[in-house]
A and B are shown apart, each in its own frame.
Chain A
Amino acid sequence: MQSSAARKMTAEGWLEPPPVPHHYESEENHKHALRLGMWLFLGTEVLLFAGIFVGYFVFRTYFPEAFEQAGRHLSLFWGTANTLVLLTSSLTVATAHYYAEHGKNRNAFWLLTASITMGGMFLCIKGIEYHDKFVELALPGKFFHFNEITAPGGPIFYVVYFFATGLHALHVIVGMSLLTWVAVRCWRKEFSPQYYAPVENAGLYWHLVDLVWIFLYPLLYLV
């Protein structure tokens, strides 16, 4: 791919798009391929989280009481707050995609910055929750010493809890890095109606992170 430094600024106020690789017959064809690649990757992500969700349901079947008790000990306030933070960041990412597609790079930049900030907020809130769990010794496996969960299976719940939310938090960090990369490129006005695939694909990744949380939130905090 051609570096942005070598690309000229067009009259519309954005850099001219990088040339379409020669093995694509058209610009649209290239866009389809980039999008399909991302969706295939998202499919594998769904399968990755599928294992965790199946684990959740298996252990829930084995230890229903512990899961209920432990779920009640998670902070509903922080859980709900985090859901709203992630949903809002999804909105700003989707809107940034819209602006990038219309060549309004500055708008997209600020919206992406807002999304990254909300990702950071999400991680901070997650940190507060993790801190509480560490103080209570509500921890996975042999580290579990939390007396308020009396039903068998408490340590197992926290294995599922920390693994699911931990893997999700890792995805939030990766998503934030991708959004930062894309935001920098927005600042350089690289995107235009002809070329906005990085914004779209980073956005798709971010929405997937949101999707996973949409399921984790009710399963861990509410039921």
Chain B
Amino acid sequence: MASTSSAGAPAHSHGFGPGKLFLNWLVLVCLTFSTFGVSQIPMPVNYHLAAALCIAVVKLSLVVLFFMHLWWGEGINRIVFVTSFLFLFLLMFFVMADVGTRFTLSNSRIPPPPKIDQTLMPTGMPPGMGTVPQGHSEGSGASSGEAGKR
């Protein structure tokens, strides 16, 4: 990269001018409306999630590359930013790999936890509290542990 001269306009002058920045903004606005539009199409929720995340990643790239000048930036700054996302990915991947793959120990002698009778719950309990999350009522480690104690 050319170094800046000590006077006058920047010698390298990297980055978009106002026109191209505006164009970038226009694309971002279109993407915002498209992510909104896609969310209104009836399809399974996981598809919605995937579509929304894909559009968000495209928007992220546009902001980072052109508004934040990483397109023209020094390599070290790119490494820093990408590395932070690498660690985000590591955290997300291993946590979700754990949460997403828990299952009932089918050959366990521990009986399935009893169904919690809502009428026995203390009064004044807000709705949604005290019930066992669906899909976990018969399997997750926490609830079977509690069942064992009772």
Residues in chain A within 8 A of chain B (CB atoms): 12, 26-28, 31-32, 35-36, 39-40, 42-44, 46-47, 50-51, 53-54, 57-58, 61-66, 68, 76, 80, 83-84, 87-88, 90-91, 93-95, 97-98, 101-103, 142, 144-147, 149-155, 193-194, 200, 203-204, 207, 210-211, 214-215, 217-219, 222-223
The tally of CB-CB contacts under 8 A between chains A and B is 183
Distance to closest chain A CB from B92 (angstroms) = 5
Number of B residues, CB within 8 Å of A: 64
Q: Given the interface contacts A76-B36, A94-B67, A101-B10, does A40 sit within 8 Å of B21 by beta carbon?
A: no
| Interface of chain B: mostly helix, strand, loop or mixed | helix
Is B74 among interface residues, defined by CB-CB distance under 8 A?
yes
Q: Are B15 and A145 neighbours in the complex by a CB distance under 8 Å? A: no
Known contacts: A39-B80, A57-B96. The answer to whether A211 contacts B63 by CB under 8 A is: yes
Q: Complex formed: what's the CA distance from A87 to B13 in Å?
A: 24
- Given contacts A46-B84, A152-B133, A193-B8, is CB(A207)–CB(B126) below 8 Å? no
- Is B4 on the interface with A (CB-CB < 8 A)? yes
Known A193-B4, A222-B52: A35·B100 in contact at CB below 8 Å? no
CB closest chain-A residue, reference B54:
A218
B42 within 8 A of A: no
* A87 close to B28 (CB less than 8 A): yes
